[in-house]
Structure 1
Amino acid sequence: MFQGFSQGAVDFLWSIRFNNERSWFLAHKEEYLTLVDRPMRELGDQVHQAMEELCPELGLNLHVSRIYRDARRLYGRGPYKDHLWFTLRRPREEWVSLPAFYFEIAPEYYSFGMGCYDATPATVAKLRARIDRDPKPVEQLARKLEKSPFQLEGELYKRPKGDPGPLLAPWYNRKSISFARDENCEGLLFQPELADQVLEGFRFLKPYYDYMLSLAGDPAPEGRE
């Protein structure tokens, strides 16, 4: 049962940011396992189980990130991550360009939400085509989002793809779509009730997940990238 993260977890993430080398990590590996990895897995298990009970039709799998960076993609950085996460997503062979729920902890914030993080050009083209055909469902989602603690995020095109109006333009002109709530490392992060906060956020985002998931069944728009 998840009991909350500790200040020690935040301190460890700050420390690995400034001591990102193998000798330091090996000397502090037990701190990582106890303070960060274990509560992350406990939180992921608890939220995953609750989501399975609420939405068994989604078929979500729990994936907890490893602290080790891919050695092929270090790009001058140290070998360890200073922010860690779990995702609830479909099996890996299915999930590319499909939405996923996430929770992340970093030294200066924690965040949770949902998004299509590997959206293909075809996926966002389908979204634009949907908005062109029938903007009302996205308008309803956009208005509800504006009243929530979640923010629409994702890389914007340098050249806008179109102008469906101020409400929908931020949806229409993104290369990827995500919905995130960022919080400071305080308060609920250190309490068992964090699991309730994350679960409630995922429940709020379920209609957004369903809408983004449904795009997979649309035909590829002609003449769009």
Structure 2
Amino acid sequence: MAGFTGFTQQGLTFLQQIAQNNTKEWFEEHRDIYEQHLLLPMRKLVTDLGTDMMAIDELFEIRPAIGKTISRMNRDTRFSHDKSLYRSNIWLTFKRSRKNWTDAPTYFFEFGPDWWRYGLGYYSASRATMDLFRQQLIRAPADFLKIAECIHPNFLIEGESYKRPLIKDQPQELATWYNKKSWALISHHHDMEPLFSNQLVDILSKDFRRLSPIYDFLMKIEGLKKNHNSVVS
């Protein structure tokens, strides 16, 4: 499989149109566009990023396949108010293989018809995970803030915060992290031009590696979780 050369306007148009024609019939009629202009280049992108991602964590799942690193187009609507059959966006992830992946640190890249974003964080961190994160934050705040300098200039700390500060009069640079119920570092973009060439590989690889000190910090918390669970059991 040749290397990633970019996505196409046809792929973006497909994502726009499927939001308006969200039926199995329409998807099947246009499946070839999805496979050639979205799935195939996404597989190539995963492959091209794989070596650099393995340098961050050799246990990452890097197989360029749906359900491994690439999202499915069809949605599970059983427990959702939104009954749309198909997504109008597509994404990739780099994470360790595990059942409860939403509670583990994950790298991601995602795009829709007129936007794209990428970053690192939790899809939905558990309370136990965030409690351990806060413990480590309080234990060595200066060390963490030095590590966290790598998020500048383009990553925002996103996620729901508690309505009331958990610690009164805590310095703002710590409170921003400490008061999150879950969080992710996200870089948002609306200029679609970088998606149309292999420049995207360099952008993602460079910034994913730049965030690796944060990832390493979060993986220490994963180790603490394992130790805690083994003691409890």
TM-score by length of 1: 0.89
Describe the superposition over 1:31-82 as per-residue Cα deviations: whole angstroms up to 9, x where unpaired: 1111111111111111123322x23x44100311110101423423310011
Partner of 1:223: none
Partner of 1:22: 24
Shift of residue 170 of structure 1?
1.1
SS in 2 for 1:138: helix
Partner of 2:157: 152
Counterpart-to-counterpart distance in 1, 2:89 and 2:102: 22
Q: For residue 109 of structure 1, what is the amino acid of its counterpart?
A: W
Partner of 1:182: 188
Partner of 1:59: 59
Instruction: Provide closer, same or farther for how the CA distance between residues 205 and 165 of structure 1 changes in structure 2, counting only shifts above 3 A.
Output: same
Partner of 2:66: none
Q: Is the contact between residue 109 and residue 119 of structure 2 (CA under 8 Å) also seen in structure 1? A: yes
- Determine whether 1:191 maps to 2:197: yes
Partner of 1:171: 177
Structure 1 stretches lacking a partner, 5+ long: 221-225
SS in 2 for 1:182: strand
Q: Is the contact between residue 90 and residue 112 of structure 2 (CA under 8 Å) also seen in structure 1? A: yes
Following superposition of structure 1 onto structure 2, how do residues 101-180 of structure 1 map, counting pairs within 5 Å? 101-145=107-151, 147-163=152-168, 164-180=170-186
SS in 1 for 2:173: coil
Moved more, 92-101 or 116-125: 92-101
Instruction: Provide closer, same or farther for how the CA distance between residues 105 and 133 of structure 1 changes in structure 2, counting only shifts above 3 A.
Output: same
SS in 1 for 2:99: helix
Counterpart-to-counterpart distance in 1, 2:91 and 2:136: 31
Structure 2 stretches lacking a partner, 5+ long: 63-68, 229-233
Q: Is the contact between residue 142 and residue 168 of structure 1 (CA under 8 Å) also seen in structure 2? A: no
Partner of 2:44: 42
Partner of 1:2: 4
C-alpha RMSD over aligned residues:
1.8
Q: For residue 32 of structure 2, what is the amino acid of its counterpart?
A: E
SS in 2 for 1:92: coil
Q: Is the contact between residue 142 and residue 167 of structure 1 (CA under 8 Å) also seen in structure 2? A: no
TM-score by length of 2: 0.86
Q: For residue 154 of structure 1, what is the amino acid of its counterpart?
A: G
Q: Is the contact between residue 77 and residue 83 of structure 2 (CA under 8 Å) also seen in structure 1? A: no
2:211 to 181, 189, 205: 205
Shift of residue 175 of structure 1?
1.1
Counterpart-to-counterpart distance in 2, 1:134 and 1:66: 40
